Structure 1
Amino acid sequence: MSIKFTKDLKESSFLDPMNNFEPKTVVSEIRHDPLTGQISRIFPFRKFNIHNHDWTPFVEESRQKFCPFCPDVLEKVTPMFSADIAPEGRIKLGDATVIPNLNPYEKYASLVVMSCRHYIAMEEIETELIINSFRAGLDYLQRVTALDPDEARYVSINWNYMPYAGGSLIHPHLQILAGKEPCTFDKQLINASEKYLSDYKSNYWTDLINSELKAKERYVGQTGKVHWLSAFAPRHVGDIMGILPGKKTIHDISDDDLYDLAVGLCRVIKFYKQSNITSFNAALYFARSEHAGFSIHARIVGRFTIFPLVGSDITHMQILHDDPWTVILPEAIAQELKTYF
């Protein structure tokens, strides 16, 4: 086992205007992701509070506008797949419907309309909603990878919940991608997992689980075969990982695995709601069978606004430097989240 949790403490000094300009020292942290080495910054935001946000006015306004995902118009205004992908036109599973993305940013891009309900509050997100939506997305991915194995090599399932997370529509939906090349971060994960296996003759993800179990600082709990932990070098606030060891591809994941993932995600979302984190991004990462050392895992991060009415939690650090930052220690997140597991 060669997991290293590396962090550098940085001291900054200034004359404090809140205390008659007496000298004051503040400590921030720079952490390095144990797998990729990517930097994450954690800094002590003065009197930081995440403000609760009431989506009711925004939701009510959206109900007055046209929504292509609502059941009375979905069949009329959303595109259908060509017969080689889905002879039935659209892929359906339970309350979930998979449709082509009108604005694709990959060769194979689809949306999963998760429910006929226009708005689902965080506290109303249930395991069945996630299971059906993920399974429907996997059905699409299995079809396109079989149809076009050269161009649909790398896949992911993604969820932007509400506007703070970049959700363009209130109606809950997933983004499903398949392309010839992996996304930038996905590629880092795959390559670094292979290198770790080559260097240490051990699986990084299994070693990470065992290291976090031993440390007892960030390990949160387990739902079935999925292990949940607060990321040591978070990509954003409340960065939680759900690792499914021993599984790599979209063909490896079972219905039981989806249930275990959904149960854990629901618990994290419940924690977010109680912590005034009213929006989130989530992704389910896969690799190909030839990529040794990788494990399927989910990652979910909270999104919020810095100020009650305006502002964003994305700054120059993420956009222009690709340095994630957060204002809450992962260890503190883990201690609070454990009660939900």
Structure 2
Amino acid sequence: MIRFDSRKVNARFHNPLEGGKLVNAELEYRRDPLLGHISILSDGLAGKREILFPKTDEEYITRCIKETMSNCFLCDDRWKKTTPRYPDDLISGGRLIKGDCVLFPNLFPVASYHAVIMVGKEHYRRLSAFSPDLVNDALQLAFSFIKRVFEMDQTRKYWTINANYLAPAGASLVHPHFQLLGDEIPSTHHERLLSATKKFYDSNGENFWKALVSTEKDLGLRYVLEKQGCHVLTAFSPMGTNEVLVVWPEIRSFLDFGNAEILIMAEAISMTLGFYEHLGFSTFNFACFSPSLGSNENWGSCIMRIVCRQNMVPDHRTDDYYLQKLLQNEIAIYSPENLASIFKAFVGIDS
């Protein structure tokens, strides 16, 4: 059984912006139904959005593009000489190529298999320019690499597909790229996801992600759409700004993704990034999680979290401070229900 636990509290103070009037600011604490992390909703934060997330500075982006393009090791086919290669016994020629996308090893790995995927030849893309076809080419490389590695080394069974886009999201270069991590040890969050979903199954006799999708679809508050087994919704207790949750409840691991499923994933990513641009955001992170490869457990499903990050402005203020980094709480500018309603309108679905 899925529980959506929340609690409302008030903060009382004399507000100088209202002539010293005593006000009650209502806050809502929400607890994630699987992991228990807390997010905080406040209508008052909407009025602070321009401070928390100032509008993207297009002139600043143009300047960044000009300043970084000439030294970009991915532009103008420089990747052919500047990027590392995998051993030929893993990948013939050392790199995987599809269309304008290229996969190669990260020069500074944080996992046994840490691959980078150059996403297209363009040095910079607006979020709406991550087309389904382009993202599909990048993801095809990702899944091909994962399956190839696992055929050779079945101890590397924990994989994620990830992205940082632009400096406020942690990217060290402007040029669009995705990253793969594969190892015998999962990340902290990955391990928590797997442990919690197994515990839910053991206690309730059902797959958490199937139950979540079914419940959210019935409620209709945060559910956006479904296409061939891929479900898109907003998170009840988001882990990041404007979190969109993509769920494949019937897919047990990355090994089960075929061409059709990969294309639908690409469409979900492209659609969400276009929506973020529609909201006025210019950066993002995502991470896609798989149960351990080869496990094929009934409790496991693949999921993806996509979030906005701080906008591209000079000397940007981080959106990840003590509240998120150390207290591990998150705040929401849009309520998940409002976000879902706007998202559905964006893709032409009646609420």
TM-score range, shorter chain: over 0.9
Q: Distance in 2 between matches of 1:137 and 1:158?
A: 10
In the TM superposition, what whole-angstrom CA distance separates every residue of 1:1-30 from its partner, at most 9, and x where no partner exists?
A: x00001111211001112221210001121
How much does 1:77 deviate? 1.1
1:60-75 equivalences under 5 Å are: 60-64=66-70, 66-75=71-80
Task: Structure 2 unaligned segments of length 5 or more: list them.
Answer: none
| Pairs aligned (count) | 338
Per the TM alignment, residue 47 of structure 1 is displaced from its structure 2 partner at its CA by 3.8
Describe the superposition over 1:148-197 as per-residue Cα deviations: whole angstroms up to 9, x where unpaired.
Answer: 222x1200100111112111111111111001111111111111111111
TM-aligned CA deviation for residue 308 of structure 1: 7.3
**Separation (CA, whole Å) in 1 of partners of 2:80 and 2:217:** 48
Question: 1:51 is aligned with what amino acid?
Answer: P
Give the Cα–Cα distance (whole angstroms) in 2 for the partners of residues 236 and 147 of structure 1.
36
Q: Which residue of 2 aligns with 1:52?
A: 55
Amino acid at match of 2:331: W
Q: Give the match for residue 109 of structure 1.
A: 114
- Partner of 2:241, secondary structure, is coil
Q: Percent identity?
A: 26
The offset of 1:41, in angstroms, is 2.2
Task: Pick the aligned partner of 1:241 from 231, 238, 245.
Answer: 245
Equivalence for 1:42: 41
Paired position in structure 2 for 1:145: 150
1:115-160 deviation digits (Å, cap 9, x = unpaired):
122222212110011111011011111122222222x120010011
**What CA distance in whole angstroms lies between the structure 1 residues aligned with 2:190 and 2:286?**
14
How much does 1:309 deviate? 5.2
Q: Which runs of 5+ in 1 are unaligned?
A: none
Structure 2 equivalent of residue 25 of structure 1: 24
Alignment of 1:117-266 (within 5 A): 117-150=122-155, 152-266=156-270
* TM-score after normalising by structure 1: 0.94
Which stretch has the larger CA shift, 35-44 or 76-85? 35-44
Equivalent residue letter for 1:317? L
C-alpha distance in 1 between matches for 2:311 and 2:24: 27
Query: Counterpart of 2:309?
Result: 303
State how far apart, in whole Å, the 1-side matches of 2:228 and 2:206 are: 23
Deviation at 1:264, TM superposition (A): 1.9
CA contact 1:51–1:308 (8 Å) conserved in 2: no
Runs of 4+ in 1 over 6 A off after TM superposition: none
TM-score (norm 2): 0.92
C-alpha distance in 2 between matches for 1:81 and 1:300:
29
Q: Is the 8 A contact 1:68 1:74 kept in 2?
A: yes
CA RMSD of aligned residues (A): 1.7
Which range moved further: 73-82 or 41-50?
41-50
Amino acid in structure 1 at the alignment position of 2:206 = S
Equivalence for 1:274: 278
1:334 match: 340
Residue deviations 1:25-69 (CA, integer Å, cap 9, x gap): 0011211111111222223324423433122221122123x1111
